[in-house]
Amino acid sequence: MNEYIQLNEEHQMLICCKCHTALRPNTFKKHFRRVYQLIGNTLRDINNYYTGIDLADPEKDTLPADSARDNIVRHWREAQHGRAEFRWTEVRLQTWMGGKYARYWTVREDNSNSNNNDGGSIVASDNGGISAMESIIANSEAQLKAEDTIRLRLGDLEEDIDRDSSWVKRLGWVRYFGSRDLLSIYQAAEWIRAKAPIAGRAQQVEDEQAARERVLLSRLGQSFDREVDRCCWRLDSVPTETLQWLGSITAANPSGVPFGRKGKEASMSKYRSVGHRYLSFCWRAHRIGREEAYERWAVRFTDEQWSLLYNVAGELEGVAFSSSYDSGFCSGREREVDESDGEVGSDKDNDSSEREVDNEDVAALPHSVLDRAVFLFISASVKAHVGGNVYINTLLSFCAALGIRQRPLGYTEPHLYTGMLAAVLWWGRLFFLELMFENQPRDQDEVSIDAVLAFREQHTV
């Protein structure tokens, strides 16, 4: 904690050790969360330790002695001192805060002479004074620019970001994400990330982590695709009226066009890709933990969803990195067969064929378990109810993350966003259909009335 913040006991002022700036008593927690992305125990310790202490406000409290009150250039002009070879004397300046809150005072050295003129204005040398003032102005402008960059990246609580977009305000994304890092949320909702341009050993570590993530997410995407294919056959096994209700946008009237597959393969690929992104978003949330995922990305999970996501992550690790286990298992079988060759030579071909079947069963089993875990998690995401705050729903929280635009940082235009939303609706409905009819026979004529009525009841909830 001490590496981030210190208390100046003489002036009772909080100082950020990273940027050497005084902090206001009511905003120091926000400073570390927004600028340095501090979360978890460290930020909690800082807040608990310094909250409640009587602290000075660097923006409003009285400055130390020898405070600088005037701009020297303006003072010289307004006082009409006339021309002089040396118009001022050089001094050192200090301020608690930079940018628009900067208020300077002169710093006296122990062996220095008086640094203030009779008017109490800033004094500096003629040649060095202008450059010093220009340096102060340049630094202030750079800091203001950096603050604008941070504001755009972390959002604007007053909803000034994309202020001309009425639909962004209507969806409440700015208020929902608050001061969280929009770029971090965008990256969490991405699919497999590109390699980062890092050199040296850090590059090697990054490559290993990125390679592991690519393997896991590729397997996760393949599992989702298998489940989409499996659920699609249900479209031919339920009454047309059920598909019309499934395709409706209201609970009161069925759609004239039954819900079904998309005609173009390109559309199906785009829809699947959004499903991949949702699973990767949730998987990354699982990696950092439930509380941290909410702190950083504003995503929440029900107990059921978190438990099912735990199953997905566990099965995913087992499938993606089980080659050594499988190799040992298969090698053991091979050794047993080799040892038996000398005793029962006539059974060699039969043993070989049995081994091939066994190996196929072993390879297929982990995928079926992973696919089932993915199906149950998606189904739980679709069935989660919402209240006044719709973004408590994990799936809708992901939809909000889809609305973030990387370049320029902000929010996506409606015509680019609706396609992704249509993808979520399509595979969400598909999984819901299979969930409601998964115990029913494949023959449409044998589907029970109770199953159809149960679907109608759940669909209108």
Please give the radius of gyration of the chain, using alpha carbons only, rounded to the nearest integer.
32
User: Quick check: is 296 in a domain?
Assistant: yes
Within a 10 A sphere around the Cβ of 244, how many other Cβ atoms? 16
User: Quick check: is 352 in a domain?
Assistant: no
Distance CA 412, CA 423 (A): 16
Amino acid in the structure at residue 453 = L
**Are residue 253 and residue 136 in the same domain, yes or no?**
no
**Are residue 251 and residue 216 in the same domain, yes or no?**
yes
User: Quick check: is 62 in a domain?
Assistant: no
Confidence (pLDDT) at 251: 72
Q: What is the pTM of this model?
A: 0.57
**Are residue 103 and residue 216 in the same domain, yes or no?**
no
Confidence (pLDDT) at 100: 59
**Are residue 82 and residue 223 in the same domain, yes or no?**
no
**Are residue 193 and residue 261 in the same domain, yes or no?**
yes
**Are residue 79 and residue 140 in the same domain, yes or no?**
yes
**From first to last of its 461 residues, what are the pLDDT tens digits of the chain?**
677 788 777 777 788 887 777 877 777 777 777 777 777 777 877 777 777 677 777 777 666 655 444 456 666 667 666 665 566 676 777 676 666 566 666 766 554 444 444 444 444 434 444 456 566 667 777 777 776 666 555 554 444 445 456 778 888 888 888 888 889 999 999 987 544 444 555 555 557 778 888 889 999 999 999 999 999 989 999 999 999 988 888 777 888 889 998 877 788 888 999 999 999 999 999 999 999 999 999 999 999 999 999 999 999 887 655 443 333 333 333 333 344 444 434 444 444 444 443 444 434 445 788 999 999 999 999 988 877 888 899 999 999 999 998 878 888 888 888 889 999 999 999 999 999 998 888 888 888 899 888 888 887 76
**Are residue 136 and residue 217 in the same domain, yes or no?**
no
User: Quick check: is 159 in a domain?
Assistant: no
User: Quick check: is 64 in a domain?
Assistant: no
- The b-or-e profile of 83-100 (16+ CB within 10 A means b, else e) is eeeebbbebebebbebbe
Confidence (pLDDT) at 153: 57
**Are the beta carbons of 147 and 99 closer than 8 angstroms?**
yes
Distance CA 15, CA 56 (A): 11
Structural domain count of the chain: 3
Confidence (pLDDT) at 394: 93
Distance CA 373, CA 308 (A): 7
**Are residue 127 and residue 194 in the same domain, yes or no?**
no
**Are residue 139 and residue 264 in the same domain, yes or no?**
no
Confidence (pLDDT) at 169: 80
User: Quick check: is 331 in a domain?
Assistant: no
**Are residue 88 and residue 221 in the same domain, yes or no?**
no
**Are residue 303 and residue 419 in the same domain, yes or no?**
yes
Confidence (pLDDT) at 458: 83
**Are the beta carbons of 238 and 447 closer than 8 angstroms?**
yes
**Are residue 88 and residue 229 in the same domain, yes or no?**
no
* Structural domain range at position 429: 182-322+371-459
User: Quick check: is 41 in a domain?
Assistant: yes
User: Quick check: is 354 in a domain?
Assistant: no
Two tokens, residue 21: 């700036």
